Amino acid sequence: MLLLVGLGNPGNKYADNRHNFGFMAMDEVIRRHGFGPLRRRFQGLTSEGSLAGQKVVILKPQTFMNESGRSVGEAARFFKVDPDHIVVFHDELDLAPGKLRVKKGGGLAGHNGLKSLAAHIGKDFRRVRLGVGHPGHKDKVLRYVLQDFAKADDAWLDPLLDAMAEAAPILTSGDDAAFASKVALILKPPAPKPRPLAAASKRDEIQSSD
């Protein structure tokens, strides 16, 4: 079983904030893959479904960001899942807007939601880091992450959410690098290969003889 967690703050007031990037990602996975309706459990909202034939539970903690670990810890104990089977989607100040990186464990980069998770389940969970950029000074960070995405961000935000949802089944394999590569490929598919010159010349000769 896989536990997918999106971090954010509950309520319509925060719905479109940069800090709710994780919630947005989970909503798109639910929609794209036909997961069940959200229901209240584990101090959060959960939805169940399957990806690549494996049971998946999506969790959106409703404890507010700074206490996310209470919700995730409760769910992890109930389902008896270890950190290898917990994937957390969260906003990341240290990545440019629209960039995605995946890692396991490591530093918490001052993210209060991650700090709370580490306190309840340890640091070794898997993380999908979703870049929102940095406002330039630490004193501006709180206001920045609690602001809505700008209208101009839609140009990269919607395609990224779509790509993550499409690639989500790969996460069940544990190959996080493959997931990141798939997202990148969806967002920027390779250019079509040029037509071989020899083949082109042959067709031109046939047309000329007609």
CA-closest candidate to residue 25, choices 6, 10, 39? 6
Is this structure's pTM higher than 0.85?
A: yes
Q: How far apart (Å, rounded) are the C-alpha atoms in residues 49 and 110?
A: 32
Q: Name all domains of the chain by residue range, CATH numbers in brackets.
A: 2-209 (3.40.50.1470)
Q: Fill in the DSSP letter of residue 148.
A: B
pLDDT one-digit tens code per residue, 139-181:
999 999 999 999 999 999 999 999 999 999 999 999 999 999 9
Q: How far apart (Å, rounded) are the C-alpha atoms in residues 16 and 21?
A: 8
Active-site choice (19, 85, 90, 111): 19
Query: Given pLDDT bands bounded at 50, 70 and 90, which one contains residue 103?
Result: very high
Query: Given pLDDT bands bounded at 50, 70 and 90, which one contains residue 190?
Result: confident
pLDDT at 202 > cutoff 60: no
Catalytic: 90? no
Query: Given pLDDT bands bounded at 50, 70 and 90, which one contains residue 197?
Result: low
Longest dimension (CA), the chain: 77
What pLDDT was estimated at residue 110? 78
pLDDT one-digit tens code per residue, 40-63:
999 999 999 999 999 999 999 999
Strand order in the sheet with 2-6: 39-41, 44-51, 54-61, 2-6, 86-92, 126-131, 100-104
Amino acid of residue 146: L
Query: Given pLDDT bands bounded at 50, 70 and 90, which one contains residue 101?
Result: very high
